[in-house]
Amino acid sequence: MRVLLFLCLLLVSFATAKQQFSELQYRNAFTNWMIQNQRHYASEEFATRYNIFKANMDYVQEWNSKGSETILGLNAFADITNQEYRANYLGTPFDASSIVGTETEKIFAAPAATVDWRTKGAVTPIKNQQQCGGCWSFSTTGSTEGAHQISTGNLVSLSEQNLIDCSGSYGNDGCNGGLMTLAFEYIINNKGIDTESSYPYTAETGTVCKFKTANIGATLSSYNNVTSGSESSLESAANVNPVSVAIDASHNSFQLYSSGIYYEPACSTTQLDHGVLVVGYGSGSSGSGSSQNGSSQSESSQSESSQSGSSQSGSQSGSQSGSQSSGSQSGSQSGSQSGSQSGSGSSYSGSQSGSQSGSYSGSQSGSQSGSQSGLLQSGSGNYWIVKNSWGTGWGMEGYILMSKDRNNNCGIASMASYPKV
């Protein structure tokens, strides 16, 4: 009996030693986070989510205490484990090991010192995939919107739903996955893609293709693949057009990214599970997380309350092929949450203000701390400016600065392409 009691006390002591904050600090941080992120849970789920939040809060604190150029925060993914994040927001990685470093390097244009297509009016506002595996469609519309604006001077938001509903015969699978190059081929052969306003996003795979020639917002003639694994080739391509890229987004650090230049030593250059858009690059100790010159980062018609990730799978030969898919936070985690039990005893809601003493001031929830008029401090060095499709509540108002010229970190140059009008 004494031995059992000793072991129990030892386990309690070990668990306490692993925690970096007091229970009151955890509780108040969780309460404030739930109110800000409008969450609610059934009573039987509350304890699980609270403990996961505490673990993520510890992870954020430990990471940030090391002075990394990558700053983490308690964003909308702070109540899920990394395993849940991968399963629900990412997917089976695409293995690019057979193509990286196998091509002669292609240089598309002489590179400028810095590029930011947002300042040139070639980037639409941050969008949100919601509960549909549509990362490939968002990346495709992003680069196509850029190509159309650069060619015509007109920025037109294009329809992801058009691609999701209508490009199945090209190898895409709607909300279950797809690939940017296959979507480019659809747009080329279809002689256009409809506008967002005429063919709005539903976050579901439609049973009928509703494309109408009268509603075409842009056309393409071809596309180019960046030399796999070459950041120099990607840099030159980014001088021509915003570039669709695939990356490894599987780590806790990406899940909880807040600001700064993202560098993950454990990132893979070949296991790629998320499609995003490179809209430029820069160098120095700061970078703009918000768009400029009229390309504001408000949600278009998508809700900011849900976020999604994506995955890729398949093979690549000549023109890149395979599939990307993405999940999103389920509707059951919308609404409001808090660290206090409601009067009914059956659910938890955001009813506390979190004003109790001992609150955690460094939680960096919601839009994250560290911003001044859209300019967020980041670590020194070179970076890619990357547009995500998880809403403005993630990262730097929907963007992430990813390490540039650091051995193709996270595979940003492993599977990249851009369209031509």
Catalytic residue numbers?
Answer: 135, 274, 388
Integer angstrom CA distances of residue 96 from 139, 251, 324, 327, 410: 18, 18, 13, 21, 12
Beta strand 382-387 with 274-283 is antiparallel
Q: Is 232 exposed, middle or buried (0-12, 13-18, 19+ CB in 10 A)?
A: middle
Nearest to 283 by CA among 123, 404, 119: 404
Cα–Cα distance measured from residue 156 to residue 395, given in angstroms and rounded to the nearest whole number: 25
Cα–Cα distance measured from residue 289 to residue 274, given in angstroms and rounded to the nearest whole number: 20
- Partnered with residue 313 across adjacent β-strands are 323
Integer angstrom CA distances of residue 61 from 74, 196, 256: 10, 40, 11
The length of the chain in residues reads: 421
| The residue type at 146 | G
Q: Is 162 exposed, middle or buried (0-12, 13-18, 19+ CB in 10 A)?
A: buried
Can you read off the two tokens belonging to residue 215? 């509603």
Distance of CA 291 to the CA centre of its chain: 16
